[in-house]
Amino acid sequence: MDYDSLVLRNAGYISDHAQARMRDTRVLIAGCGMGSVFAETAVRLEYEKLVLVDHDVVDSHNLNRQNFTAADVGVHKVDALAKRLLGINPSSEITIIREKISIHNADDIVSKSDLVFDTIDFLDLPGLVALHDACFTQNKKLLTAVNAGFGVAGLYFPEIKKCTIRDLFDLPQSGSVEGCSYGEKYAGFVQKIAHRLDPVVVEQFAKILKFLSEGKPCPAPQVAPGIACVAALAGTIAVRIAEDQPILEAPEMLIISMTNLVCG
């Protein structure tokens, strides 16, 4: 596979300079469920160096939105995703890490990357904070995004960060967050942005947080168009980083509602 032919149709929207930078940039996908869709977008944009991190296996309920097939059920997500990405560009350099991100491995994992894409399970507050803390300490660019119904809510943190995830979630500025209630912290964050979200999304978040407060498992509803929005937002930001173009930075939040757009 000739790299020039792979990027031929990117020309006009992506400069040669940016394309060369993208080829050399190491992209960490922290969470390969929702992250699987962005990973494919990144490879099709011709990012060739990816680090895939996830401890989970593919389940049938993932297939409504994640980049897997029925044949992948029971397979580690990182393995199934690596196979898919190499099928698109066999020259890709893919590193797979079958681990859950924690305070014990976050620094080492982040050190292997230049750009971090965070879609860690929102129930895993310690893992989420460990990843963000490592990016803050190492001055790594980070994009975090969540599916918001038929849309996306995302935050971009450059190398020099105006704020951190600890600020946004009203967490202690340092130390362990093991004793903090994710349901409580997430509820407070959702309240800050509720006026910009589709009312159905706010309603679903409220149901999820109620179950969490009662200690009950509650798989969050997610649909394929919303995950596609996550990948589109992250892919656009990734290109703008390579082009040295301005990007709205956290604490400002990037929110797209396809429902609001189609309703005018």
| Residue from 168, 170, 175, 174 nearest 146 by CA | 168
Q: Percentage of the chain with pLDDT > 70?
A: 97
Supply φ then ψ for residue 45, to 5 degrees.
-75, -10
Q: What is the pLDDT of residue 83?
A: 98
pLDDT range class, residue 113, cuts 50, 70, 90: very high
- Tokens describing residue 226: 């919303």
Domain tally, the chain: 1
Strand partners, 49: 26, 93
| 53-92 pLDDT per residue, tens | 999 999 999 999 999 999 999 999 999 999 999 999 999 9
Residue 116 lies in a domain: yes
Domain of 73 in residue numbering reads as 15-161+222-258
Residue 152 lies in a domain: yes
| 177-207 pLDDT per residue, tens | 887 877 777 778 888 888 888 899 989 888 8
Question: Exposed/middle/buried for 153, CB within 10 Å: 0-12, 13-18, 19+?
Answer: buried
The domain that holds 94 is classified in CATH as 3.40.50.720
**pTM of the entire structure?**
0.94
| 140-169 pLDDT per residue, tens | 999 999 889 999 999 999 999 999 999 998
Residue 207 lies in a domain: no
Q: What is the pLDDT of residue 237?
A: 98
| 219-242 pLDDT per residue, tens | 788 999 999 999 999 999 999 999
Residue 195 lies in a domain: no
pLDDT exceeds 90 at position 33:
yes
Q: What distance in Å separates the CA atoms of residue 102 and residue 94, rounded to the nearest whole number?
A: 21
Residue 175 lies in a domain: no
Stronger pLDDT, 206 or 47, i.e. the higher one: 47
Parallel/antiparallel/unpaired status of strands 93-97 and 115-118 = unpaired
Residue 188 lies in a domain: no
pLDDT range class, residue 122, cuts 50, 70, 90: low
| Residue from 165, 168, 233, 153 nearest 201 by CA | 153
Q: What is the pLDDT of residue 180?
A: 81
pLDDT exceeds 70 at position 28:
yes
Residue 264 lies in a domain: no
Strand partners, 169: none
Residue 115 lies in a domain: yes
